[in-house]
Copies of this chain bind each other. A is one copy, B any other.
Amino acid sequence: MNKTRLPLSQVYRLLEPGPVVLVSTAGPRRPDVMAMSWHTMMEFEPPLVGCVISGRNHTFDLLVASGECVLNVPTVELARQVVGCGNVSGRRVDKFERFGLTAAPASKVGAPLVAECYANLECRIADRRLADDYNFFVLEVVQAWIDRSRKHPRIIHHQGKGVFAVDGRILKLPSRKK
């Protein structure tokens, strides 16, 4: 896997733009992976990420049981696999096999990295106070990986019902803020 460590202070620059991510988890029989767009940064460093994972999803059970997951950031080249992962359940299907994805070992969590993704964020649950009411988890990113050979990664933004906006031109404006 052609990836290097990304400083944790830079994780917000990956998630703040609103990519669809693939959430991978370890399981008793096999790992699973699902597509997710309901996430937000909550703190720069250590990076905290809030996310909603429906209780109907197999990932919910695996995340609650293990306390760990990986948030993988796919680029547009993986769009079909992303939609595929969103349309079948890991209870019935080995999604890594079905969609030709590679489960690579993480360094700090038991959940696997999706090797084909541009970046991978190893996470542990930091707060589950809102899990009962909203299926909302606060995750702490404990290790981050990025493929620095990709100079112009184009992430995809879900507009609902399988419609995605792909990153277009990049606009750089003078700003005093992170």
Nearest B residue to A51 by beta-carbon distance? Answer: B40
Please encode chain A, from 121 to 142, with 1 for each CB lying within 8 Å of some chain B CB and 0 for all others: 0000001011001101010000
Given B39, B41, B79, which contacts A171 in the complex, CB threshold below 8 Å?
Answer: B79
Count residues of chain A with CB under 8 A from any CB of chain B: 55
- Find out whether the CB atom of B157 lies under 8 angstroms from the CB atom of A166: no
Copies of this protein in the complex: 2
Known: A18-B157, A157-B167, A170-B165. A83 touches B175 (CB 8 A): yes
Give the residues in chain B near A129, CB-CB below 8 Å. 129-130
**Is A50 part of the binding interface, using a Cβ–Cβ cutoff of 8 Å?**
yes
Q: Does any Cβ of B come within 8 Å of A173's Cβ?
A: yes
Give A1-24 interface residues, CB cut-off 8 Å to B.
12-13, 16-19
Extra contacts, 5 of them, besides A40-B52, A79-B173, A127-B133 (Cβ < 8 A), are: A43-B134, A79-B171, A83-B175, A165-B171, A166-B168
